[in-house]
Amino acid sequence: MPLGTLDRTPPPFFKQGPSALSKLVVFSALALFLMVADMRFKFAVPIRSALATALYPVQWLVLQPVQAAGQAGGYFTSLHQAQRSEGEALQRLATQAGQSLQLEQLTLENRRLRELLSMRERITTTATGAQVLYDAADPFSRKVVIDRGQTHGIEPGSPVIDERGVLGQVTRVYPLVSEVTLLVDQDQAIPVLNTRTGVRNVAYGQPSATGDGLELRYTLANADIVEGDLLTTSGVDGVYPPGLPVARVTQVERRAESSFTRIRCEPLARVQAALHVLVLAPVGPSLPPYKRPEASGSQTPLTAPGTAVATPRSAP
């Protein structure tokens, strides 16, 4: 067939058709009809369930990266919060530990103060409360410094006690502080009374590396004294009031080669951990201060015992 005889015009199907507006109106009406029919007769429910079941694996695969990213972010956020919470918890624990230690210290101090007040009620002499500031700097002595001195009426030689018993004696007084020599000092001695037998003795300080204590010297081997005997102040020295607890006998060593018994005692007072003390007024009058004799132009001649010395008289 010759090419000139061919019809080059498009078929009527592609050449003619509905317009875009017509298509919009038709499909809108169809969609509205389907929605009304689905609402009325529920015929799209099985189709929707089948499509959801078929598309679930695809949805799961698509959501995995999103869930992984969310979990990673949540992990780091939780880790940061956990670390911050741990730091806050440790800080609160440290604060509570400090408060607990302070509470224990205050409880101990309160209990000792109550015991000290009960001790003060049993004492008839004047007592002044004081606080131990620090130990003396001398390593060869057992002394402490308290926060009361001359301005508070403290006198040299005043007894010092704590809530358990006799602690020591004031040996030096300054305007604002005083120095207290403890019973366990090697130069300290105190008259004591055995409450079980009524025998008086003198306890001497016995410091040692294993533990400071007291010692009863020059006690005969046949003396009636046993471990556990309570020693109190006898009051014969005119310094300590009678009846104050001093020490308890811990060791009685009788030796065959000696006529004396070696007796060790443990002080009842807290010689190493005293916090608050009472300074008592001495029972007897304090000794007057020593005065040197005044220098004179003439010297008193030395005479033999029993001879009198004539004193020159001044001219009338």
d(CA 86, CA 189) in angstroms, rounded, equals 59
Instruction: Report the alpha-carbon angle 298-301-302, nearest 5.
Output: 150
Q: 230-233 and 178-182: which strand pairing?
A: unpaired
Residues 6+ apart with CB under 8 A from 183: 166, 167, 168, 190, 203, 205, 214, 246, 247, 267, 269, 271
Closest CA to 162 of 114, 103, 229: 114
Q: What pLDDT does 63 receive?
A: 83
Task: Encode the chain (316 residues) as per-residue pLDDT tens digits.
Answer: 555 566 666 555 555 567 788 888 888 998 888 888 878 877 777 887 888 888 888 888 888 888 888 888 787 788 788 888 888 888 888 877 776 766 676 777 777 667 666 666 667 778 888 989 988 877 778 899 999 999 999 999 999 988 888 999 999 999 999 999 999 998 899 999 999 999 999 999 988 767 788 999 888 888 899 999 999 998 888 888 888 899 999 999 988 788 888 899 999 998 888 888 889 888 765 445 445 555 444 444 433 333 333 333 333 3
Q: Could you write out the DSSP letters of every residue in the chain?
A: --GGGS--SPPHHHHS---HHHHHHHHHHHHHHHHHHHHHH-TTHHHHHHHHHHHHHHHHHHHHHHHHHHHHHHHHHHHHHHHHHHHHHHHHHHHHHHHHHHHHHHHHHHHHHHHHHHHHHT--S-EEEEEEEEE-S-TTS-EEEES--GGGT--TT-EEE-SSSEEEEEEEE-SS-EEEEETTSTT-EEEEEETTT--EEEEEEE--SS--EEEEEEEETT----TT-EEEE--TTSSSPTT-EEEEEEEEEE-TT-SEEEEEEEESS-TTT--EEEEEPPSSPPPPPP-PPPP-SSPPPP--TT---PPPPPP-
d(CA 133, CA 180) in angstroms, rounded, equals 11
127-280 to CATH, choices 2.40.10.340, 3.40.50.1220, 3.90.180.10, 3.90.1150.10: 2.40.10.340
Q: What pLDDT does 215 receive?
A: 93
Q: 260-267 and 213-220: which strand pairing?
A: antiparallel
Residues 6+ apart with CB under 8 A from 191: 200, 201, 202, 203, 233, 234, 235, 236, 237, 240
Q: What pLDDT does 227 receive?
A: 92
Closest CA to 217 of 246, 253, 245, 185: 253
Q: What pLDDT does 301 receive?
A: 41
Give whole-number Cα distances, 180 to 105, 172, 183, 303, in Å.
24, 7, 9, 45
Closest CA to 211 of 247, 244, 180, 178: 247
